[in-house]
Amino acid sequence: MIRTSILALILVFSLIQSSKAQSLSDRQKVTQAVQWFAFNSHIKIHKKVSILAEGQFRYAQTFDPMQFQLRTGVDYTINKHFSVLAGYVYSWNPIYGKQPASFVNNEHRIFEQVIYKHQLGRFNISHRGRLEQRFIQVHQNSNGEIINEGYDLYLNRARYRLAINIPLNNAKMEPKTVYASVYDEVFFEWGDKVVYHKPDQNRVFAGLGYQVNKQFSFQGGLLYQNIIKLSGVKQENNVGFQVQVNYNIDLTKKEN
């Protein structure tokens, strides 16, 4: 079974390398530092239903604002392996970095996802598939005047993430467990304005985490993000770190 998980990892990283090899030789590429922070909470309101509350705080270069997101949704647990979620995101997108956008283009986003979890030996594996409907803000410069045309740019996006947590000081994930954490997420976008019709973003993370108890855990480590812009001409290679805090709340528990 462990051999199967290793083969799955090899397949994912082979796809990443293949995607890189197919990139255009004349693409305008930049490399910059990033610092990402995230807070995630599932608020349980029923034995099978919880509310997602998530904040993403992302910075580039020397803590210059890169992107801020607030995400919420309703999560339904089918069984110990499967869960589904439907939700909404608002994204603030400041002008940042070595390839700055011409205007601030914020975003409304609706998404649907399914998660499948299973275990192979000490490997705790999670597969997440997500579909997104994106409504992006559009600005135009007309005779020196910046005109906000509303959230008129519509794009679709599909994402797949493979995540693995491996307990180090205990045989399984339980309170007071130090664990190794890795994930890889690939993005594919389509719509009338999309020029590059191949996977256009990849995120790879490797780090350590600590599960304090069933409700509280945190992790941090190295992050690599490769993103090809909408035109297919510009590419960012972002290298830095990511810190994530998870704190879940169970409102179904009855006090004695």
- The domain 2-250 is placed in CATH, from the list 2.40.160.40, 2.60.130.10, 3.40.50.300, 3.30.497.10, at 2.40.160.40
| Amino acid 144: pLDDT | 64
* Owner of token pair 């693995």: 164
Provide the residue type at 237 as one letter.
N
At 49-106, the pLDDT tens digits run: 999 999 999 999 999 999 999 999 999 999 999 999 999 999 999 999 999 988 889 9
At 118-138, the pLDDT tens digits run: 999 999 999 999 999 999 998
Whole-structure pTM value = 0.86
DSSP 191-246: STT----S--EEEEEEEEEEE-SSSEEEEEEEEEEEEE-TTSSEEEEEEEEEEEEE
CB 210 within 8 A of CB 228: no
Percent of the residues in the chain that have a pLDDT greater than 70, as a whole number:
88
DSSP 45-68: SSSSEEEEEEEEEEEETTTEEEEE
Task: Answer yes or no: is pLDDT of 154 > 80.
Answer: yes
Task: Answer yes or no: is pLDDT of 174 > 60.
Answer: yes
**What are the b/e assignments for 124-150, b being 16+ CB within 10 Å?**
bbeebebebebbbbeeeeeeeeeeeee
Task: Answer yes or no: is pLDDT of 181 > 70.
Answer: yes
Give the sign of the dihedral formed by CA 97, CA 99, CA 105, CA 109.
negative
| Amino acid 231: pLDDT | 78
Distance CA 196, CA 27 (A): 12
| Amino acid 162: pLDDT | 98
Q: Where are the domains of the chain?
A: 2-250
DSSP 80-137: SSEEEEEEEEEEE----SSS--SS---EEEEEEEEEEEEEETTEEEEEEEEEEEEEE-
| Amino acid 139: pLDDT | 82
| Amino acid 229: pLDDT | 86
At 189-242, the pLDDT tens digits run: 998 888 888 899 999 999 999 999 999 999 999 999 999 988 788 899 999 999
| Amino acid 248: pLDDT | 96
Task: Answer yes or no: is pLDDT of 37 > 80.
Answer: yes
| Amino acid 14: pLDDT | 52
Task: Answer yes or no: is pLDDT of 180 > 80.
Answer: yes
Mean pLDDT to the nearest integer, 167-172? 94
Task: Answer yes or no: is pLDDT of 3 > 90.
Answer: no
Length of the chain counted residue by residue = 256
List the structure tokens of 135: 């409504």
Task: Answer yes or no: is pLDDT of 256 > 60.
Answer: no
> Collapsing DSSP states into helix, strand and coil, what is residue 5?
helix
| Amino acid 13: pLDDT | 52
Task: Answer yes or no: is pLDDT of 2 > 60.
Answer: no
Q: Enumerate the β-bridge partners of residue 142.
A: 145
Cα 171 to its chain centre, rounded Å, is 28
